[in-house]
Structure 1
């Protein structure tokens, strides 16, 4: 597994110190290109279109669409896609939608051979450098589209400020269209604010130490009523297996 670049090392030091760090697109995209070609980025972003609704929303919301994929990432840099399986969170971590197995539509075939693979490898190199004893990681990849309607906001984190019950989280903005807000906030376990930021440009990214801090995202609102309004993100969660 390759050594993180200087820019990435700076972010990782902040992650280790503060429990979170921000990588703007201008910094992240060259890091991803060092992992492989991003030629499929337009097709990758297009894969957020026509995603099915998340039908497990306990608040009866119809503002979230998603797909899901599962991977095993090894310390030697290898990444293997695993057969489809349900996403599960206990109610301790997700009091709104937790406690049940949630089966989501799978990500497209071979999606990890392009941009997604670059993101997975970069995340593995970074998180692996912070946990050098880790030999294997269980990785879940989530494609989310949060939609806002006229007079009805979309909730990126309907469960509120929370943890995901993993070791690390990567959130990558794919696209924002006709929305305002969507501010990410980071909190200490006692509720103290540790900072906030807004992912605005495609490729803006944040890394979160889920074992140390909580995070949440404010509701998004349509700027022009009657026009499509949405926030597309890729979320990767890394949980150490051994």
Structure 2
């Protein structure tokens, strides 16, 4: 399935107008396939079973696993992985864990070089470059997240609350959700007013966010069946103009 260019431009217009857009997985697949292949998707999705605990949240008892990688891309050039480095957010953007360098386990090399991830990054580079024609080079960070929930603990996709990431644009792509309820994404303006909400429920459901304009958060997830394992897997990709 290939999305017509008019559809592509239609949700670009909505992001320019409102600062965010939900894209259903069936539509998102078409947009991604304009930028590459998803032939290794099963292996890509299975790599979420190999994430490392987020040690920075251990002291507050929230169950989150993740891996992290950094890339650089010119608007028309190759997407190049950068040496492993810490993830840093100013306290202004992350009241819970801001102003510290957080080192996470790196994304596995075969996942970073795989078709699915390169397709996602290619889509983001081309689409976000359309929204920011003045940007020549992008600093890209990506995070594999698994949020776990149990009978005695809610899973917190955004433990820092409603926030901005301190970047230009964000893609949140659902990989899998198993045995959970809730996990609703909420979008807010600067005064906290709710602009919209939606729940990522199917693989490839996506949220595209203009981080400079709106705030976002995700409600806690709980198990549907308290006796079984429950998780929410997402890929978060952030783009910031390289200075």
Residues of 1 paired with 2:42 and 2:77: CA distance? 26
Q: Which string of whole-angstrom CA distances, capped at 9 and with x for unpartnered residues, describes residues 122-165 of structure 1?
A: 11111100111110000000000000011310000000000000
- Equivalent residue for 1:225? 226
User: Greater share of helix residues, 1 or 2?
Assistant: 2
**Structure 1 stretches lacking a partner, 5+ long:** none
| Contact in 1 for aligned 2:146/2:232 (Cα 8 Å) | yes
Q: Which string of whole-angstrom CA distances, capped at 9 and with x for unpartnered residues, describes residues 153-202 of structure 1?
A: 00000000000000000000000000000000000001111000000000
- Equivalent residue for 1:191? 192
- Equivalent residue for 1:237? 238
RMSD: 1.2
| Contact in 1 for aligned 2:47/2:111 (Cα 8 Å) | no
Q: Which string of whole-angstrom CA distances, capped at 9 and with x for unpartnered residues, describes residues 22-62 of structure 1?
A: 11111011221221121100000000003111001275224
Residues of 2 paired with 1:87 and 1:14: CA distance? 30
Matches within 5 A, 1:156-171: 156-171=157-172
Shift of 1:8: 1.8
| Contact in 2 for aligned 1:58/1:96 (Cα 8 Å) | no
Residue 22 (structure 1) aligned with residue 22 (structure 2): yes
Matches within 5 A, 1:1-242: 5-57=5-57, 60-112=60-112, 113-242=114-243
Structure 1 runs (4+) greater than 4 angstroms displaced = none
**Structure 2 stretches lacking a partner, 5+ long:** none
TM-score normalised according to structure 1 size = 0.96
Shift of 1:90: 1.0
Shift of 1:231: 0.2
